[in-house]
């Protein structure tokens, strides 16, 4: 039913409006007794549980950062079967993000272009919501993805990240440093090893005992990816998230005029699958077996999840396919993973 609903109705709505409407429903699912009823239908099979980062993940499959920017839908997403929810990207200073429109579907490619620009209510607001969640036992692992506030100069980025980490790490199961979004000016320059090393060192100190990961871009060269992976190990990080959206537009089925009209921003969805696997294998080859690698990019099916796990991923995340597969996407993947173990 959902594919028909998407083609006939949802695809006609502005993508950002449709996302907010979906989030309103997801938030309702997080409220008792709706949570209990939904969870009874979607709870991952016990044999899917994964031990990583000193935590127990109910399933290897979770929802990537960007879907729930303000930690408002965590319980609802857990009710839909996701084993972890990475909220954010959260910035120390609240910000509205880039001007609208800033989210575009490429339906022929099952992809999305976004230039949201870290729109979020800020670290203090996220911390208050996370504190309430912690009192209510969300039944999912919660990661928090942090980024640089737009009004802060790149030269002052470390202090800005540290402010977010200090506020949010005590409330997060793990913390992810986002230096790879293409939608904040100058941000990707922080991935240079000589710049990234002191930033990660400072954030790790602020995070304390909370596991710290770094999220990288797929547009880096293979040599740069390997160097960052080795740096993450050397600095004592707990893992790497591979990867963020891409600025590439290669190999798209959508007509060039539509792609050009969408403009700048990060591309996510099915077209990233090949590069995602390449980046995953590069990272895994450069880090110890016990090092956590979270694979994201082009994940749609249980077979995609299995492929990432077989290639060395500890955990797998998705986002864009939610738009095209619908609310039972997480449940479908978990059931297929359990059926074909």
Enzyme catalytic residues:
181
Written as one string, the DSSP assignment of 4-69 is: HHHHHTGGGS-HHHHHHHHHHHHHHHTSTTHHHHHHHHHPPPGGG-EEETTEEESSSEEEPTTSST
Contact 206, 162 (CB under 8 A): yes
Residue in the block written with tokens 């993940």: 57
Task: Give dist(CA 117, CA 182) in Å, integer.
Answer: 9
Contact 276, 246 (CB under 8 A): no
Query: For the chain, where are the alpha helices, taking DSSP H only?
Result: 2-8, 15-29, 34-42, 74-79, 123-136, 157-168, 193-207, 222-234, 256-262, 273-286, 302-310, 320-325, 329-339
Contact 61, 305 (CB under 8 A): yes
Contact 292, 52 (CB under 8 A): yes
217 in helix, strand or coil?
Answer: coil
Contacts of 110 (CB under 8 A, 6+ apart): 269, 270, 300, 320, 321, 324
* Beta-ladder partners of 113: 104, 267
């Amino acid at each position: 039913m959902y594919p028909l609903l998407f083609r006939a109705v949802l695809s006609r709505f502005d993508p950002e409006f449709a996302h907010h409407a979906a989030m309103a429903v997801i938030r309702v699912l997080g409220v008792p007794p709706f949570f209990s009823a939904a969870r009874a239908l979607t709870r991952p099979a016990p044999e899917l549980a994964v031990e990583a980062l000193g935590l127990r993940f109910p399933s290897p499959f979770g929802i990537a950062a960007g879907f729930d920017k303000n930690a408002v839908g965590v319980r609802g997403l857990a009710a839909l079967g996701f084993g972890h929810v990475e909220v954010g990207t959260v910035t120390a200073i609240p910000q509205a993000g880039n001007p609208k429109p800033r989210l575009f579907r490429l339906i022929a490619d099952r992809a999305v272009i976004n230039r949201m620009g870290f729109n979020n209510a800020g670290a203090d607001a996220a911390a208050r919501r996370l504190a309430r969640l912690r009192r209510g036992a969300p039944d999912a692992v919660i990661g928090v993805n942090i980024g640089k506030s737009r009004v802060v100069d790149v030269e002052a980025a470390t202090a800005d990240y540290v402010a977010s980490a200090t506020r949010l790490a005590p409330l997060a199961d793990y913390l992810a440093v986002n230096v790879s979004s293409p939608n904040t000016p100058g941000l990707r320059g922080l991935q240079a090893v000589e710049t990234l090393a002191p930033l990660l060192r400072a954030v790790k100190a602020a995070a304390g005992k909370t596991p710290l990961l770094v999220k990288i871009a797929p547009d880096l060269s293979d040599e740069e990816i390997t160097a960052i992976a080795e740096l993450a190990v050397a600095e004592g990080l707990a893992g790497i998230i591979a990867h963020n959206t891409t600025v590439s537009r290669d190999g798209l089925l959508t007509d060039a005029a539509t792609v050009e009209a969408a403009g700048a921003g990060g591309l996510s969805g099915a077209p990233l699958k090949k590069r995602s696997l390449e980046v995953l294998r590069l990272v895994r080859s450069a880090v110890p077996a016990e090092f956590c690698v979270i694979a994201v990019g082009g994940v749609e099916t249980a077979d995609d999840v299995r492929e990432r796990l077989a290639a060395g991923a500890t955990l797998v995340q998705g986002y864009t396919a939610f738009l095209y597969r619908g609310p039972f996407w997480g449940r479908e993947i978990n059931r297929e993973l359990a059926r074909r173990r």
